[in-house]
Amino acid sequence: MTKLDAAKLPEAYPRKVWTEGDGTRVGVAAQEGGCSRASVEIGEQSPDKVVLTLIETSPKVEQMCTMDIRYPNFTVTLNAPLGDRPVTLDYQQRKV
């Protein structure tokens, strides 16, 4: 993958994206830790670009959590192969 915009990710966040199979499956590495959980959503897919939103969800109520950091991998399925389209990684924090 040559065209990756990861400027919106936190500084130490992984910046790893790949394709699988025929190019319609795109993988991304995320980061989670303690009580937070990572996930990914397709924010946008157009003929010009693909935007993947990496989400870190944590509990609304503060609680004791471990201090470990995990780097899970996720895949999403696009409507068409990624091809030469650039990928932009967006980032959101959510509370549940």
Backbone angles phi, psi at 43, to 5 degrees: -80, -35
Range of lowest pLDDT (1-5, 39-43, 68-72, 89-93): 1-5
Range of lowest pLDDT (2-11, 47-56, 78-87): 2-11
Please list, in sequence order, all residues whose beta carbon lies within 8 angstroms of the beta carbon of residue 27, skipping any fewer than 6 positions away. Answer: 17, 18, 19, 20, 73, 74, 75
Half-sphere exposure of 85 (CA within 13 A, CB side): 22
What whole-number distance in Å separates Cα of residue 96 and Cα of residue 83? 36
What's residue 2's pLDDT? 62
> For residue range 10-65, what is the model confidence (pLDDT) as tens digits?
998 999 999 999 999 999 999 999 999 999 999 999 999 999 999 999 999 988 99
